[in-house]
Every structure is written in structure tokens, then in C-alpha cells.
Amino acid sequence: MVDFSLSKHEKELFEKAMEFTRKYITPNARELEEANEFPWEIAQKAKEAGLMHLHIPKDIGGQGYTLFEETLIAEAIGYGDAGVATTLLADNLAFTPILIGSTQEQLEKYIKPLASDPKVKLGAFCLTERVAGSDAAAIKTVAEKDGDEWVINGHKCFATSGHVASILSVFTTTDPEQGYKTMACHMVPADAPGVKIGFLENKMGQSASFQCEIEFKDVRVPADCILGKVGDGFKIAMQTLDKTRASIAAIGVGVAQRAVHEAAKFANHRRQFGQKIGKFQGIAFLLADMEARAMAARWATRYAAWLADKGMRNSKESSLAKVLATDAAMLNATDCVQIMGGYGYLREYPAEQMMRGAKLLQIYEGTNQIQRVVASGLILKESKEIDTGFRLKYDGKDAPNPWE
Ligand code: CAA
């Protein structure tokens, strides 16, 4: 029997994350956005609350959570602020390739000291380059083997928390001419000589998260810093994104739901033409559509995560969950601003910050157009195995379909 309810543990985990959000994120979201400082205090508190290093196994110092459990946490944190959610969740993005590609020995050596440190130590995911955004296989950061070391040269950009991270998961290539076939992923300690942090991006929203340029100039790392072997890098990146896109979707669900709640509270109090504005169908129907989007997005997201936890490929579901949930976040935040009218546009209220924050969810970890590329490729492939039952008849007899 299918069971859509959360277990006692899952409910408690979601409530714990919501409590964290209500206490530390929601009341401070505006200050965190305007501070222009990395939110170390929140990250440290999240670590102490067991809300960081979510997938790192317990014996390595993490929480050992499933992706489903991560989506519960991401929804709750996203409800508070998408920027803070990006900061806290980008850490999982950085560690996921390592968890996919490393041996137990590598985890013990490189990850345990960071994850088990009582002080929060972060990772940063370094895939994107100025010439390689949507086309991830076009990266030019080169790794060359020199004796028992790898030497890395290149530039990365949009590395979330790259300026404060302790370890970088860096996607490289041994031959840029060979596309994805020669890609690798290296763990690079952020204090390795030759790692140079560049400028921080100045964004329209999500300002409690930071993205930077990183230059790698003759950076030498030990031979065992590679995850798997040369040639595994692209698949490690794609398998990582299959998981983390579900988590971004969950942030979107959080934003979409918060937008419903803020809009509904406003519509329930604000009176015009002698009645609460929620009584007007023009507003009431908007609220219903907003809730429908949040609800659909939540279940698509949880399903995508559940598939991954069951060991099943979830590329299509994860991409489509990201599309549904982050589009829902953008639409709901925009409608929330609209319902609140002039107040929605004011910085004193949360709606405009939600709207600016939601936009980035539709762009990072693969634009929503790239998600449609991933999903449609798989839909076309699956269609070859599908029998719709339709048979073309000609003069009452079976005839071959002209396109088959
Ligand atoms: N799992 C396993 N293997 C996969 C896979 C997956 N999900 N996806 C692809 N592959 C395999 C394919 O099977 C193929 O292997 P074979 O040749 O052995 O069959 C190989 O990888 C190449 O696949 P494609 O031909 O599909 O690759 P492509 O070059 O056409 O690109 C893409 C595919 C989907 C467009 C990909 O480049 C992509 O996802 N781009 C977006 C990148 C992205 O999301 N960047 C975000 C960076 S992180 C960020 O933004 C966060 C931040 O911190 C700011």
C-alpha cells in the first residue's frame, strides 16, 4: 500500500528544521541579505543542530541522511530564505561527488577531519567555467599527472562558498579536446598553494550566499585526490546533479509554500471595498493556484528523492521536479507580491526578497531549459519501448505506421 504520510522521524526532522528556520532565518532574513558577509553564525548553528553535512556517513562525521530526508530540511530552510538555503545546501553539492566517487580510505583521510570538526568546515563544487556553463563537458581546467601528484591549471566561476570552503570538488580534464570522455574530479584542499580566490559576484538576490571565481595555478595535489579514474568525471557530475536538483527543487517548494502563507495572511487581514480582499475571487483563485503549484511540486520533489534513495535512476524526475518547483517558487513569489500590492514591493515585507531569490533557483544547477533537455531526451528514449495500443488501419486491415 502506498503511504504518503511522513514517518514520526521524518515529521520530527522537518519540524526541527522549521524551528531552526523560524528562530534563526526568517526573523533575520533581511539583515542576512544586507550584511554582505558570509553567514558563519547560521552555518555553525546549523551544524550544531545536525543540519549540515547531511549525506556524509555518521562514521565520517556527517548525518548519514537520505536524499528524501534532505528534501525535508531543504524545504524548511528554503521557507525561511533561498539565499541561506543555498549556502547551507551547497555544502551537500560539494560533498556529493566525493561520496559518489571516493573510497572509504579517501573519506577517512580527506573528509572525516572536516566533517567531524566541531567548527563548521565547508566544501565548494567547482564545475562551471566562463566557457562552460550549460555545456559542462566543455571545461578547460586541465589536470596532468606528474609522478605521484596531479597538477591542476584553470579557472572556475560561480563556485558557491568557494571563498570560505576548506575543500573543493574540482572537475578537470586531461584533454579538453576529448569532451566528457577525459573528464575527472579531484578533491583539492582550498589552502593548496596556487589556489587563488577571485572576486565575489554581485547578485540581484540570494545575497546571503556567495559565488566566486577561483584560479588554479600549478596546484599540486596527491595522486589519491582523484575520485575514481580519468573518464569518470562527467558521470560523477551528472549523478551528483541528479541528486542535488531534487534538493534545489525542495528549496523551491519551501519558497512556493511561504509565498502562499504570506499572501493568505495578508488577504485575510487587508480590507478593501468593505471586505477582506481574500473574499474577492480575483485574489482567492490566485491563492488556490499557488497552493496547487506548491502541492504538486512537493510531491514531484519527494518522488525524485525517493527514487534516488531506492537506487533507481532519477534524472528525468529530478530535472522535472526542479522545473515544477522552481517555476512554482517564481510564480508564487510574484503572485504574493501582486496580492500584497504596494506592500509586496516594499523592502519591509518578505515578498520582494522571495521573488528575487526565486529567480536564481530557475537558473543554477542547470537552467530550467537544461532540465527540459535532460527530461525530453529521456522521454524520447523511453517512447521507443511504449506501446500506446494504437494500430493504423487501412481498409479495415492493420497497416504499418508510416513513421515506424
Ligand atoms: N547519469 C549517468 N550518466 C549520465 C548522466 C546521468 N545523469 N547524464 C549523462 N550521462 C552519460 C551519458 O549516458 C553519456 O555516456 P555514454 O557516452 O557512455 O553513453 C555521457 O554521460 C554524455 O552524456 P550526454 O551526451 O547527454 O552529455 P551532453 O554533453 O549532451 O550534456 C547536459 C548533457 C545535460 C546538457 C549536461 O551538460 C548538463 O547537465 N549541463 C548543465 C550543467 C549544470 O547543471 N551546471 C550547474 C553547475 S553547479 C551550480 O550552478 C551551482 C552553484 O553552486 C552556483
Strand boundaries in 4-112, DSSP class E = none
Residue 106 CA to ligand 1 centre (angstroms): 25
Mean pLDDT (whole number) for 272-276: 98
Proportion of the chain in helix, strand, coil states, percent, rounded to 5:
55, 15, 30
> Is the confidence at residue 404, as pLDDT, over 80?
no
Rg from Cα positions in the chain: 23
Minimum CA distance residue for ligand 1 atom 19: 235
Minimum CA distance residue for ligand 1 atom 43: 366
What is the rounded average pLDDT for all residues in the chain? 97
Residue 374 CA to ligand 1 centre (angstroms): 8
Q: Tell me what pLDDT residue 264 has.
A: 98
Residue 136 CA to ligand 1 centre (angstroms): 7
Minimum CA distance residue for ligand 1 atom 53: 160
Tens-place pLDDT, residues 284-334: 999 999 999 999 999 999 999 999 999 999 999 999 999 999 999 999 999
The mean-pLDDT minimum among 5-14, 321-330, 387-396 falls in 387-396
Contact 227, 97 (CB under 8 A): yes
Per the document, the length of the chain is: 404
The DSSP bridge pattern shows strands 167-173 and 183-189 to be: antiparallel
Q: Phi-psi bin for 154: left (phi > 0), alpha (psi -120 to 50), beta? A: left
Candidates 252, 270, 271, 274; CA nearest to 262 is 270
Establish how many alpha carbons lie within 13 A of residue 256's alpha carbon, considering only the half-sphere containing its beta carbon: 33
Q: Find the farthest-apart pair of alpha carbons in the chain and give their distance in angstroms, rounded.
A: 80
Euclidean distance between CA atoms 174 and 153, whole angstroms: 11
- Grid cell locating 308: 534516488
> Is the confidence at residue 247, as pLDDT, over 80?
yes
The ligand 1 atom at the shortest distance from the C-alpha of residue 128 is 47
Tens-place pLDDT, residues 121-149: 999 999 999 999 999 999 999 999 999 99
Euclidean distance between CA atoms 16 and 31, whole angstroms: 23
Mean pLDDT (whole number) for 82-89: 98
> Is the confidence at residue 193, as pLDDT, over 80?
yes
> Is the confidence at residue 251, as pLDDT, over 80?
yes
* Best probe residue, ligand 1, of 178, 180, 212 (max atoms within 8 Å of C-beta): 180
Q: Tell me what pLDDT residue 298 has.
A: 98
Euclidean distance between CA atoms 169 and 319, whole angstroms: 22
Can 365 be counted among the known catalytic residues?
Answer: yes
Q: Is ligand 1 within 6 A of the CB of residue 139?
A: no
Which pLDDT band, with edges at 50, 70 and 90, does 13 fall under? Answer: very high
Euclidean distance between CA atoms 112 and 225, whole angstroms: 14
Q: Which of 75, 213, 352, 365 is catalytic?
A: 365
Mean pLDDT (whole number) for 389-399: 91
Euclidean distance between CA atoms 115 and 110, whole angstroms: 9
Q: Tell me what pLDDT residue 60 has.
A: 97
> Is the confidence at residue 205, as pLDDT, over 90?
yes
> Is the confidence at residue 401, as pLDDT, over 90?
no
> Is the confidence at residue 403, as pLDDT, over 90?
no
Candidates 303, 290, 299, 385; CA nearest to 330 is 290
Q: Is ligand 1 within 6 A of the CB of residue 171?
A: no
Q: Tell me what pLDDT residue 2 has.
A: 81
- Grid cell locating 66: 537520505
> Angle 72-115-149 (CA atoms, 0-180°, nearest 5)?
125
- Grid cell locating 22: 523560524
Q: Tell me what pLDDT residue 1 has.
A: 81
Q: Tell me what pLDDT residue 332 has.
A: 98
Which pLDDT band, with edges at 50, 70 and 90, does 93 fall under? Answer: very high
Mean pLDDT (whole number) for 22-33: 97
The domains found in the chain, sorted by start residue, are: 8-115 (1.10.540.10), 123-233 (2.40.110.10), 234-382 (1.20.140.10)
Contact 120, 40 (CB under 8 A): yes
- Grid cell locating 323: 522545473
Contact 254, 74 (CB under 8 A): yes
Tens-place pLDDT, residues 28-64: 999 999 999 999 999 999 999 999 999 999 999 999 9
The ligand 1 atom at the shortest distance from the C-alpha of residue 127 is 47
Q: Is ligand 1 within 6 A of the CB of residue 161?
A: no
Q: Tell me what pLDDT residue 9 has.
A: 97
* Best probe residue, ligand 1, of 131, 234, 312, 361 (max atoms within 8 Å of C-beta): 234
Q: Is ligand 1 within 6 A of the CB of residue 305?
A: no
DSSP state of 7: P
